[in-house]
């Protein structure tokens, strides 16, 4: 799939305008016609023994305490109990008492620290652990699933609802109708939306001088600008999927990138969606990373480092096999920190629902503390791969 600037949906959205052009619809219909073959080819291509990788990791959170602060509360992410990762030798360094808490929305674990009347200007929390990551290989065979029953739909109802920044409005419903049509098979419908997002949006790192990302992971931002980062891409995908009746949740984690192995550089975060298919369960995909492999990116001094560090193992040019791979499969270099949006924490935060927690959430005297050099906290993740 190659794209030219004028072919990603054309003049797709104007206020109250009909969805797409006839050319766009014809191209979409052709893609859908080939979809069954693509899904089965991808299933066969990745039906293999999952790869594994082990890392020794250090996860650090430095909190700056403003003058006069009376209460500091910290929820710091830790590796979650999920099948694709195994944690051992988990240790905590903290100058204050701590405990492990779980949020009330998804049950994510967090390291919780509360400091009343602090006498220090800053403090640091550190966790160290060994992590074995397993490649995620999922069946994406439409014949193995079916539409949701009413009882199943009730059981996953919250994954069909909007979030603050994962919206479902008439624009999104119209996209879902046009892209998915009457298709009820969740795998076929999910792949149609995956292909549509690839056609519609461009990852911002390709052209950082002209493309940016939102700070919150926003459906509206990605829909309006046709660009964004992983959370923007996946917010848009989740909105359309939920509007089409596909239960969807967003997972927040980090890559253990080959390029940063053993280096004293924070490796940031990444996110990816999972959708629910009856008889199979939750199926992961990563349309944002797949977007980097759809076409040959012209590497420049401005974008080369960004592009290389957006992937787990580097960028080596257009690779449509990787586009198919990322629908249902994830490489063995990811850690999961949390799942979900609009989280209610435990103990309950003073502010409203937390948009997402890819790193940490900090409140000072009941107000949300900002991340970054000009804020109140900074996270740093470093690691080294353990060779067998």
Model pLDDT, residue 359: 98
Within-domain flag for 193: yes
- Is the predicted pLDDT of residue 56 greater than 80, yes or no? yes
Model pLDDT, residue 45: 45
Q: Say which CATH number the domain at 79 has.
A: 2.60.40.2250
Model pLDDT, residue 14: 33
Within-domain flag for 338: no
Backbone angles phi, psi at 373, to 5 degrees: -60, -30
- Is the predicted pLDDT of residue 110 greater than 80, yes or no? yes
- The span from the CA of 340 to the CA of 275, in Å, is 12
Mean pLDDT confidence for 101-107: 98
Beta bridge partners of 127: 59, 92
Are 294 and 369 contained in the same domain? no
- Is the predicted pLDDT of residue 388 greater than 60, yes or no? yes
Within-domain flag for 16: no
Between 41-50, 84-93, 355-364, the lowest mean confidence (pLDDT) is in 41-50
For 280-313, what is each residue's pLDDT tens digit? 999 999 999 999 999 999 999 999 999 999 999 9
- CB atoms under 10 Å from CB of 4, counted, come to 7
Within-domain flag for 10: no
Within-domain flag for 6: no
Are 216 and 201 contained in the same domain? yes
CB 97 within 8 A of CB 113: yes
Q: Select from 267, 322, 364, 360 the least CA-distant residue to 76.
A: 360
Are 182 and 321 contained in the same domain? yes
Are 41 and 123 contained in the same domain? no
pLDDT category at 13 given cuts 50, 70, 90 is very low
Within-domain flag for 15: no
SS3 of the chain: the string is CCCCHHHCCCCCCCCCCCCCCHHHHHHHHHHHHHHHHHHHHHHHHCCCCCCEEEEEEEEEEEEECCCCCCEEEEEEECCCCCCCEEEEEEEEECCCCEEEEECCCCCCEEEEEEEECCCCCEEEEEEEEEEEEECEECCCCHHHCCCCCHHHHHHCHHHHCCCCCCCCCHHHHHHHHHHHCCCCCHHHHHHHHHHHHHHHCEEHHHCCCCCCCCCCCCHHHHHHHCEECHHHHHHHHHHHHHHCCCCEEEEEEEECCHHHCCCCCCCCCEEEEEEEECCCEEEEECHHHHHHHCCCCCCCCCCHHHHHHHCCCCCCCCCHHHHHHCECEECCCEEEEEECCCECCCCCCCCCCECCCCCEEEEECCEECCECCCCCEEEEEEEEEECC
Q: Say which CATH number the domain at 154 has.
A: 3.10.620.30
Are 69 and 192 contained in the same domain? no
Are 63 and 201 contained in the same domain? no
Are 145 and 35 contained in the same domain? yes
- Is the predicted pLDDT of residue 46 greater than 70, yes or no? no
Q: Which residue has the higher pLDDT, 6 or 177?
A: 177
Are 233 and 381 contained in the same domain? no
- Is the predicted pLDDT of residue 164 greater than 50, yes or no? yes
Using alpha carbons only, how large is the chain's radius of gyration in Å? 21
- Is the predicted pLDDT of residue 231 greater than 90, yes or no? yes
Within-domain flag for 314: yes
Are 111 and 246 contained in the same domain? no
Within-domain flag for 1: no
Range of the domain at 313: 21-48+136-331
- Peptide bond just before 124 cis, omega within 30 deg: no
Mean pLDDT confidence for 4-32: 41
Handedness of CA 230, 232, 238, 240 (dihedral sign): negative
CB 326 within 8 A of CB 289: yes
- Is the predicted pLDDT of residue 37 greater than 50, yes or no? no
pLDDT category at 204 given cuts 50, 70, 90 is very high
For 121-150, what is each residue's pLDDT tens digit? 999 999 999 999 999 998 799 999 999 999
- Is the predicted pLDDT of residue 25 greater than 50, yes or no? no
Model pLDDT, residue 105: 97
Q: Report the chain's mean pLDDT, rounded to a whole number.
A: 90
- Is the predicted pLDDT of residue 174 greater than 70, yes or no? yes
pLDDT category at 378 given cuts 50, 70, 90 is very high
Task: State how many domains the chain has.
Answer: 2
- Is the predicted pLDDT of residue 15 greater than 60, yes or no? no
pTM (whole model) above 0.95: no
Counted residue by residue, the chain has a size of 388
Are 82 and 168 contained in the same domain? no
CB 256 within 8 A of CB 133: yes
Terminal-residue alpha carbon distance, the chain: 38
Model pLDDT, residue 47: 53
Mean pLDDT confidence for 228-239: 98
Are 279 and 210 contained in the same domain? yes
Are 65 and 32 contained in the same domain? no
- CB atoms under 10 Å from CB of 249, counted, come to 18
Last residue of a domain, one of 331, 360, 377: 331
């Amino acid at each position: 799939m190659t794209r030219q600037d004028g072919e990603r949906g054309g003049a797709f959205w104007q206020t109250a305008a009909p969805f797409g052009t006839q050319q766009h619809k014809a191209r979409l219909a052709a893609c859908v016609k080939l979809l069954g073959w693509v899904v089965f080819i991808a299933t066969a291509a990745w039906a293999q023994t999952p790869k594994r990788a082990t890392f020794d990791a250090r996860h650090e959170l430095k909190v700056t305490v403003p003058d006069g602060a009376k209460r500091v509360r910290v929820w710091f992410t830790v590796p979650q109990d999920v099948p694709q990762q195994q944690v051992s030798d988990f240790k905590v360094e903290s100058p204050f008492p701590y405990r492990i808490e779980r949020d009330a929305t998804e049950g994510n674990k967090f390291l919780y620290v509360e400091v009343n009347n602090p006498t220090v200007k800053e403090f640091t929390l550190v966790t160290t652990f060994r992590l074995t990551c397993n490649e995620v290989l999922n069946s994406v065979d439409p014949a193995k699933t079916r539409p949701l029953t009413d009882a199943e739909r009730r059981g996953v109802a919250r994954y069909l609802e909007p979030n603050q920044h994962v919206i479902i409005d008439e624009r999104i419903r119209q996209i879902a109708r046009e892209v998915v049509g009457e298709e009820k098979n969740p795998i076929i419908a999910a792949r149609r939306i995956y292909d549509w997002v690839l056609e519609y949006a461009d990852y911002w790192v390709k052209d950082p001088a002209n493309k940016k990302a939102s700070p919150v992971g926003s459906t509206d931002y990605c829909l309006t600008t046709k660009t964004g980062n992983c959370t923007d891409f996946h917010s848009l995908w989740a909105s359309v999927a939920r509007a089409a009746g596909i239960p969807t949740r967003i997972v927040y984690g980090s890559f253990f990138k080959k390029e940063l192995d053993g280096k004293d550089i924070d490796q940031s975060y990444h996110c990816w969606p999972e959708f629910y298919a009856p008889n199979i369960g939750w199926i992961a995909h990563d349309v944002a990373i797949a977007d980097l492999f759809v076409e040959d990116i012209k590497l420049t001094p401005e974008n080369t480092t960004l592009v290389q560090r957006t992937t787990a193992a580097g960028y080596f040019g257009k690779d449509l096999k990787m586009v198919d791979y990322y629908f249902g499969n994830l490489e063995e270099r990811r850690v999961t920190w949390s799942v979900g949006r609009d989280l209610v924490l435990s103990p309950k935060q003073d502010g409203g629902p937390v948009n997402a927690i890819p790193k940490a959430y900090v409140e000072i005297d009941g107000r949300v503390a900002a991340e970054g050099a000009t804020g109140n906290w900074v996270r740093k993740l470093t690691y080294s791969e353990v060779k067998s």
